[in-house]
């Protein structure tokens, strides 16, 4: 009887284990990179953030200056630069990381000056093209002369990226993109445009 119960128990454990799927390595890397980036921004640790910026690709900081959205390309990040737009990085000091949720991203409401929900979110079903749209808009309305080849490069980067929105209980926020390049997640875009209601 004991042998039968032990055999039955082992069978049940194996069935349960077989029903559980392991998290793919790409997703494990994504989750750990999101946590590391949020933690580095919270601590204002430039060296830790820079580990996730790919040389040659760099980081695009999206910001609003007056009526028009703009961007700046950076090879590294500095939390001590008091100049605009880098001073915006200081707004993430002390931001709290909570468990990453795969869901529809929160939206920002300019009337309440808040995001629609709190937490750390990534939406794998939607691709965001804010950087390439900023370039197209600047070419049309400013007018700038951003080459189409650059816009295509940004569009391609966005296609291999995931947008992450963090809004914590202290109303601190961070919106950034991680891009899957050469089997690694890199920080490629930080978005200060979405929650800027100044225009």
Cβ distance 65 to 88 under 8 Å?
A: no
Is residue 183 in some structural domain?
yes
Q: Which domain holds residue 78?
A: 24-191
Burial letters for 72-109: b for 16+ Cβ neighbours within 10 Å, e otherwise?
A: eebeebebeeeeebbeebeebeebbbeebeeeebbebe
Which CATH number goes with the domain that contains 78? 3.10.450
In the predicted model, what is the mean pLDDT of residues 7-18? 42
pLDDT at residue 6 tops 50: no
Is residue 172 in some structural domain?
yes
List 106's β-bridge partners, or say none.
none
Nearest Cα neighbor of 92 from 190, 188, 197 is: 190
Tell me, what's the pLDDT at 57? 98
Is residue 71 in some structural domain?
yes
Is residue 8 in some structural domain?
no
The string of pLDDT tens digits covering residues 116-165 is: 999 999 999 999 999 999 999 999 999 899 999 999 999 999 999 999 99
Is residue 34 in some structural domain?
yes
List 121's β-bridge partners, or say none.
101, 165
CA 116 to chain centre: 17
Tell me, what's the pLDDT at 27? 97
Is residue 127 in some structural domain?
yes
Is residue 167 in some structural domain?
yes
Is residue 12 in some structural domain?
no
pTM value is 0.87
The CA-based dihedral angle spanning residues 103, 44, 153, 179, taken in that order and rounded to the nearest 10 degrees = -40
**Total of domains in the chain:** 1
CA 23 to chain centre: 20
């Amino acid at each position: 009887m004991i042998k039968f119960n032990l055999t039955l128990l082992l069978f049940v454990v194996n069935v349960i284990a077989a029903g559980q799927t392991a998290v793919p390595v790409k997703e494990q890397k994504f989750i750990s990179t999101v946590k590391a980036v949020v933690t580095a921004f919270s601590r204002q640790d430039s060296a830790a953030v820079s580990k996730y910026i790919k040389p040659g690709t760099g980081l695009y900081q999206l910001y609003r200056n007056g009526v028009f959205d703009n961007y700046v390309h950076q090879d590294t990040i500095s939390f001590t630069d008091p100049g605009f737009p880098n001073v915006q990085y200081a707004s993430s000091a002390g931001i709290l990381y909570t468990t990453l949720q795969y869901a529809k991203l929160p939206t920002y409401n300019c009337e309440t000056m808040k995001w629609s929900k709190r937490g750390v979110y990534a939406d794998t079903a939607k691709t965001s093209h804010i950087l390439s749209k900023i370039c197209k808009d600047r070419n049309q309305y400013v007018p700038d002369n951003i080459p189409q080849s650059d816009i295509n490069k940004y569009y391609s980067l966005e296609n291999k990226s995931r947008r992450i929105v963090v809004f914590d209980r202290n109303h601190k926020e961070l919106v950034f993109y991680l891009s899957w390049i050469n089997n690694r997640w890199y920080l490629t875009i930080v978005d200060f445009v979405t929650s800027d209601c100044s225009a």
